[in-house]
Amino acid sequence: MKKLLLTTALMLAATPAFAKEYTIKEVTDYDAKKQHFFSPDKLTIQPGDTVTFVNAQDEIHDVMFVNVPKQVDEMIMSPTQEKKGDKFSYTFTVPGTYKFHCHAHEKLGMEGMLIVGQASKAGETKAMDHHKLSKKLEGGDAPAAGGLHQGVGTINSVDAGKHMVNITHDPIKSLNWPKMKMMFTVDSSVDLPGFQQGDAVSFSLKPQGKDDLIITDMKKGK
């Protein structure tokens, strides 16, 4: 009996905790003292947990992570969200402190913080400069013909239902982007179910709104 109890205890100790899902609302309330805010704007989760940002009303918002742990190798940012119920989800695997804001309402103090596991110590985070990204989208280096930027990369994941794809792309000179892993919205004209993880692709990016880019064309092969 003691051996059975010991075995059971060891099995429970070795079983990882179930990942959880959290929701943060993007709120505009013109009757409130602070009219644009995240709710909650501070949250502690564990590695492996997923956070979904939900637009609470028909108001333009987005989510941009401006400070992240140094081990994070991608830009975490949502497409522009304009409709009530628009969502953006991300699963956090790297422990540390993450700071984010809504770019459209940054100057109005719409910002928040996530702690994954435990807070980062001094020097363990890095800034992700989305202002430079925005400047490029507003007219930095010249794009190719038709106002499109051309890229090549490898697909990490495909979400055909949401028409989104995660790509590790090579440097894109017309945007002055280094090699990065990013999530992109894909135009409905692209046959996204025809692509899968590991596919090498070439694609065209078109500016949409102030701070977003959408893939308008994608083909297998570089």
Domain boundaries, the chain: 19-128, 140-220
Half-sphere exposure of 49 (CA within 13 A, CB side): 17
* CATH class, range 140-220: mainly beta
Quote the tokens at residue 77. 């940012």
Q: For residue range 51-78, what is the model confidence (pLDDT) as tens digits?
A: 999 999 988 899 999 999 999 988 898 8
Q: For residue range 208-221, what is the model confidence (pLDDT) as tens digits?
A: 765 678 999 999 98
Spell out the residues 6+ positions from residue 215 whose beta carbon is closer than 8 angstroms to its own.
Answer: 165, 184, 185, 186, 187, 190, 203, 204, 205
pLDDT at position 81:
85
Given this chain, do its domains 19-128 and 140-220 carry the same CATH topology?
Answer: no
- What's the mean per-residue pLDDT of the chain? 84
Query: Mean pLDDT, to the nearest integer, of 36-41?
Result: 96
pLDDT at position 137:
45
Identify the CATH number of the domain defined by range 19-128.
Answer: 2.60.40.420
pLDDT at position 17:
60
Place 198 in a pLDDT band, splitting at 50, 70 and 90: very high
pLDDT at position 130:
61
